Amino acid sequence: MRVRNYPLIVKVISSAVIGIDSYPVDVEVDISAGLPQFSTVGLPDVAVRESKDRIKAAIKNSGYRFPRNHITVNLAPADIKKEGTGFDLPIAVGILTAEGVIKSEFFKDYILTGELSLDGRVKGVQGVISAAFQAKEMGIKGIIVPAENALEAAMVEAIAVIPVNTLPDVVEFFNGTKEIEPLKLDIAEIFKRSLCYPFDFSEIRGQDQAKRALEVAAGGGHNIIMVGPPGSGKTMLAQRLSTILPGLSFEEAIETTKIFSVAGLLDKKETLLGTRPFRAPHHTISDAGLVGGGHVPKPGEISLAHHGVLFLDELPEFKKNVLEALRQPLENGYVTITRSSVTATYPARFMLVAAMNPCPCGYYGDPHKDCRCSPQQIHQYQARISGPLLDRIDIHIEVPSIRYKDLVGKDAGESSEIIEERIVRARARQKKRFDGHDTLLNAGMSDKQIKECCIIDEDSRKLIEMAIDKLGFSARAYTRILKVARTIADLEEEKDIRSCHIAEAIQYRNLDRRMI
């Protein structure tokens, strides 16, 4: 009988992701006497169960012997479902260690993750940056990752990131016969290079009122809806909103990068997302695609827009259940997805920018083109947006057809940089005002904070009373007007809300006035 002088039970550290954060997984490999069999326990999903065929082929094709014994792989903790292909590499390392191919236990200093191809190459996986943060939190030496994920993992400081291309690279590294230098990056320089937008506010011709409304929305974090005919520039305006928002902090950039990494949407050449995301899903999207979900929970468009802008064009064309699913994330800033074996929470703090035509044909109220829609058609079209959703949109603005002289004019508007400076100052005032509270911006003020921070004089009170009596504004419009007026005052660096601020805020309730 063959006598083995090496351990038959090996533990390798790997990781898995719930939401956007990683947690450690102990990959325990046991090789015992018995009929050849490869079983994986610990709530593995289909991709993990199928790994045995990939691992067997990868080990053989890399020139190593695959054991003809009973192999049991346990993924602990065993009460959380394990998903993805990132366990291929740690399982293979466990088997090769148990077989004596890897002669040291150097691997205990690293988290291992990676998918194996049949020829032994190590392929990229999702959520590597989260795994790198997990390695740092655990205080271990570093992480071994596929070479194509190395740039992403190297954004985490104070750990060694070892990029590998093949399974033999890993074996030789652990046996000390091959030296692989940890990848190091100039993170500050990368972050600086990533702060660049392809658009600028100065490119927008005309539409002064709409540009002002977007500035106010950005100043207080208010959601906004633009109503106008086709071709009036609604999409162009929305695309440039991100450029006037305050720049992402490094922590915000890391959080955004984590979401894209977990979703598998991070460009392998981009190590960090330094600009605020702009997401514009098509109106045919499902509720799972928008808010996240699926059999294997994945972040949806609202989480991919975290710290940025979610643009919903042709808002009435979205399915009703899709729009209603937005209500809870707009209120809480996160979305929780529950499945039988896992509950995942994804951040979803974004600015909603919606756009719609005033009617099915798009020309209701246009002075240059006749509307072909009946009053009933217009009412049915506008009624597709529910009151509770509209209640979460502070600013309604008309975007009329652009005039020819504005289109060909030579005068460029203000640049994004100049507008951003005003918004940064306004948000600084709000940060000071809400210091010690969960509220971040004026848009998130509670009723109590509105009473404390939105005190108005008699002239302002009369203006609001007239708006409610003459224009038919609802009670919900009243609090929205006060919030927006507070932001306008902050942009003008005014301590008190004045009647001119209230008057401008009233102008941003166009949809309330024109609903048929």
Which letter does DSSP use for residue 84 in this model? S
HSE at residue 256, side-chain half, CA atoms within 13 A, is 27
Measured CA to CA, the distance from residue 386 to residue 398 in angstroms comes to 19
Measured CA to CA, the distance from residue 238 to residue 312 in angstroms comes to 10
Task: Answer yes or no: is pLDDT of 516 > 50.
Answer: no
Task: Answer yes or no: is pLDDT of 512 > 80.
Answer: no
Task: Answer yes or no: is pLDDT of 5 > 60.
Answer: no
Which residue from 389, 374, 350, 402 is spatially nearest to 511, judged by alpha carbons?
A: 389
Domains of the chain, first to last: 9-175 (3.30.230.10), 194-416+427-436 (3.40.50.300)
Task: Answer yes or no: is pLDDT of 406 > 70.
Answer: no
**What is the DSSP secondary-structure string of 130-183?**
HHHHHHHHHT-SEEEEEGGGHHHHTTSTTSEEEEESBHHHHHHHHHTSS--PPP
pLDDT in tens, 292-302: 987 778 899 99
Number of H helices, E strands in the chain: 23, 18
Note whether 242 and 308 are within 8 A (CB).
yes
Instruction: Classify the phi-psi angles of 38: left when phi > 0, otherwise alpha if psi is within -120 to 50, otherwise beta.
Output: beta
β-strand partners of 10: 29
pLDDT in tens, 461-476: 998 888 888 777 777 7
**What percent of the chain shows pLDDT beyond 90?**
63
pLDDT in tens, 95-137: 999 999 998 888 899 999 999 999 999 999 999 999 999 999 9
Tell me the torsion sign for CA atoms 322, 324, 327, 328: negative
Question: Residue 476: its pLDDT value, please?
Answer: 76
Question: Residue 6: its pLDDT value, please?
Answer: 44
pLDDT in tens, 64-106: 999 988 999 999 998 888 888 999 999 999 999 999 999 888 8
Task: Answer yes or no: is pLDDT of 239 > 50.
Answer: yes
Q: Which two tokens stand for residue 474?
A: 């609802």
Order of strands, edge to edge, in the sheet holding 351-356? 278-279, 309-312, 351-356, 224-227, 395-398
More confident of the two residues 169 and 411: 169
Those residues whose C-beta lies under 8 Å from the C-beta of residue 197, and which sit 6 or more positions away, are: 242, 243, 275, 416
pLDDT in tens, 22-38: 999 999 999 988 888 89
How far does Cα 411 stand from its chain's mean position?
36
Question: Residue 338: its pLDDT value, please?
Answer: 83
Question: Residue 151: its pLDDT value, please?
Answer: 92
Task: Answer yes or no: is pLDDT of 282 > 90.
Answer: yes
Average pLDDT of every residue of the chain: 89
Tell me the torsion sign for CA atoms 193, 198, 202, 208: negative
Those residues whose C-beta lies under 8 Å from the C-beta of residue 512, and which sit 6 or more positions away, are: 396, 471, 472, 473, 474, 477
β-strand partners of 28: 11, 74
Task: Answer yes or no: is pLDDT of 62 > 70.
Answer: yes
Task: Answer yes or no: is pLDDT of 226 > 70.
Answer: yes
**What percent of the chain shows pLDDT beyond 70?**
95
How far does Cα 512 stand from its chain's mean position?
31
Measured CA to CA, the distance from residue 277 to residue 456 in angstroms comes to 36
Measured CA to CA, the distance from residue 82 to residue 25 in angstroms comes to 9
Question: Residue 80: its pLDDT value, please?
Answer: 86
Question: Residue 404: its pLDDT value, please?
Answer: 57
